[in-house]
Amino acid sequence: MATTALAYEQKGIILHVENLSVSYGDKAIIRDINFSEKDTVRPNRQQGQIIAFLGRSGRGKSTLFRALTGLEKPATGRVLIPDLSKTVTNGQQPAKQVQEGDVGFVNQKYTLFRHKTVYNTLLFALRKTTLSAPEKHEKIMQYLSDWGLDACKDQFPNFLSGGQRQRTAILEQLLSSGHYMVLDEPFSGLDIGNIMNVKKSFQLINESHELNTIIFSTHDIELAVELADSIYILGYKEENGQLGSVGTILKHFDLKQMGLAWQDCFTGQHLECVQMIKDLMLKS
């Protein structure tokens, strides 16, 4: 069955990465990372962006994610996001360099404060907002209800199930950071039920604001092709017939342009894309 490309329009840049390199001591981990993502708008639909990073182990995905979230200082280059606190000038939203906390970061372990209940975790995430205490309470209760966490609002992370913990970690970062969310291998080691839960969380985030942008990494290529509207392949480049040792972006698959994004079913064209990605990854 062939896919039909769905209509969309691209607006301003929401993420711009320029000449990014990160080194630990003398060892370069990633180098020359350049990409831009734009705000994608679909007619009669509120929808954010889902960007996937694929690559074999040790190619620098986690390091890139730490740099994207401002947790790692790059050796060169910069990561820019729109500065929404400033007004638009000449039709352009001023940009700012990403700082710690601008981009939410959820690691593989879904780390939470071990001494805070789910409710207090979310309250803490909202501490820097200008909302009043009743407004914060109302917002938290609404999110807890939407995300199916109201029954465990007074529980500590140690007593949450894997799925509840994931949703709390994602929600916490969403409330704290605003529109951007980076998830490092969110599907790693999950059973099918929890994979469905994370997919549902992606959908909830994606549909709640057009600027909401999810960036994730995974080793499940089919899942990445199914969920993302943009895929970047990270790997080692071949230099003088030999494989290098520094991660960089090898290829970008714009699934919107390819007519593969936002489809209800997985088609032969999706599988072709999966095969292309596999071949590329094997050579990197």
Question: Segment contacting another protein (CB under 8 A): 1-9, 41-49, 107-115, 241-249?
Answer: 107-115
Question: Segment contacting another protein (CB under 8 A): 41-49, 153-161, 186-194, 260-268?
Answer: 153-161
Question: Segment contacting another protein (CB under 8 A): 86-94, 111-119, 190-198, 250-258?
Answer: 111-119
Locate tokens 């003398």: which residue? Answer: 26
- Tell me if 104 contacts another protein by CB under 8 A: yes
| Binding test (CB under 8 A) with another protein, winner from 158, 192, 264, 282 | 158
- Tell me if 254 contacts another protein by CB under 8 A: no
Tokens matching residue 37: 């993502």
> At closest approach, how far in Å is the CB of 82 from another protein?
18
Measured between alpha carbons, how far is 166 from 43 in angstroms, rounded to an integer?
A: 31
| Binding test (CB under 8 A) with another protein, winner from 111, 142, 245, 275 | 111
Tokens matching residue 190: 């999950």
- Tell me if 82 contacts another protein by CB under 8 A: no
* Interior angle at CA 108, CA 74 and CA 82, nearest 5: 45
> At closest approach, how far in Å is the CB of 252 from another protein?
26
- Tell me if 161 contacts another protein by CB under 8 A: no
- Tell me if 224 contacts another protein by CB under 8 A: no
Measured between alpha carbons, how far is 64 from 61 in angstroms, rounded to an integer?
A: 5
| Binding test (CB under 8 A) with another protein, winner from 77, 101, 244, 259 | 101
> At closest approach, how far in Å is the CB of 30 from another protein?
18
Where does 4-111 show beta strands of DSSP type E?
9-24, 27-41, 49-54, 76-82, 95-97, 103-106
Measured between alpha carbons, how far is 55 from 11 in angstroms, rounded to an integer?
A: 28
- Tell me if 277 contacts another protein by CB under 8 A: no
Measured between alpha carbons, how far is 218 from 183 in angstroms, rounded to an integer?
A: 9
- Tell me if 112 contacts another protein by CB under 8 A: yes
Measured between alpha carbons, how far is 56 from 150 in angstroms, rounded to an integer?
A: 38
> At closest approach, how far in Å is the CB of 120 from another protein?
11
- Which of 52/123 has CB closer to another protein? 123
Closest CA to 229 of 51, 46, 38: 51
Exposed (0-12), middle (13-18) or buried (19+): which is 145, by Cβ within 10 Å? exposed
Distances (CA, A) of 187 to 110, 191, 198: 11, 9, 8
- Tell me if 113 contacts another protein by CB under 8 A: yes
- Tell me if 115 contacts another protein by CB under 8 A: yes
- Tell me if 129 contacts another protein by CB under 8 A: no
Strands 27-41 and 9-24: antiparallel
- Residues found near another protein in the complex (CB under 8 A): 66, 69, 71, 100-101, 103-105, 107, 109, 111-115, 124-125, 128, 156-159, 172-173, 176-177
